[in-house]
Amino acid sequence: MTARPLLVLASGSPRRLDLLNQAGIEPDRLLPADLDETPQRNEHPRSLAKRLSKEKAEVAAMALRELDIDGPSYIVAADTVVAVGRQIMPKGELVEDAVANLRTLSGRTHRVYTGVCLIGPRGAVRQRLIETRVRFKRLSREDIDSYIASGEWRGKAGSYAIQGLAGSFVVRLVGSYTNVVGLPLYETLALLAGEGYDIHARWKAATVATEDA
C-alpha cells in the first residue's frame, strides 16, 4: 500500500497555518526555515519574495531527509515582502524600524508580494508570485503611537497585520487579501491541486461524517 504523501508547511507563521486551516487543509508537519532574509544588493522586492520562498522550501526538504522521512511529500513555503516602489520595508523587529515603516506607508499605495513555492512528491519545483496593491489612509501621530503600543506589528512584513488593528488603515486594496495576510489561498491551492494533492479531502470527509451521524 502506497503511503499517503505528507503535507509540510515550511513556516512557523500562525497566520499561514490559520489560512490553510480556513481552506480545510491541515499540514502534517511544520518545518520553519531559519534563513538570512537580507535582500541582496539591488534585489527587487519581487525577486526577494521568490528567492526566499524557494530557499525555505529547499531547507524544509533537506530537514525531511535529515529526519529520515523518505516518503512522498508536498512542501509548501511562502515569503511576503512589503515595498514602496523598489524600497523594501523591513519586518517589524525594532520599534524605530516599525515607526519608520508606518510613516512611509502613511497616505500612500504600497505593494505586497508573496512568493509561494511548492516541491511536489516527484521533486518538481513550482512557484507563483502574487502582488496586491494596498493604500493606507494618512496616519496621525496617535495612530502610529497607538499601533506601536499594541505590539501587533512585531514580526510582520511591513510592520503591520491587515487582519488585525491595521485593517482600519486600509483605504483601498486591489488583489488578493489573503496574500497580504501571508499566504494567497487561491494560488497556493491551485499549485497543490496541479501536483495531484486532494485539496477537498477534509471537505468530503466532513460530508461523510455528517451523513453517518
Length of the chain: 213
Mark whether 79 is an active-site residue: yes
Between CA 213 and CA 131 the distance in angstroms is 43
Between CA 192 and CA 85 the distance in angstroms is 31
Catalytic: which of 18, 70, 79, 198?
79
Collapsing DSSP states into helix, strand and coil, what is residue 67?
Answer: coil
CA triplet 58, 41, 9: central angle to 5 degrees? 20
Contact 55, 125 (CB under 8 A): no
Q: Exposed, middle or buried, 37 (CB in 10 Å: 0-12/13-18/19+)? A: middle
Write out the DSSP string of 166-192. Answer: GGGGEEEEES-HHHHHT--HHHHHHHH
* Contact residues for 133 (Cβ-Cβ < 8 A; gap 6+): 109, 110, 111, 112, 172, 173, 174, 175
Active site residues: 79
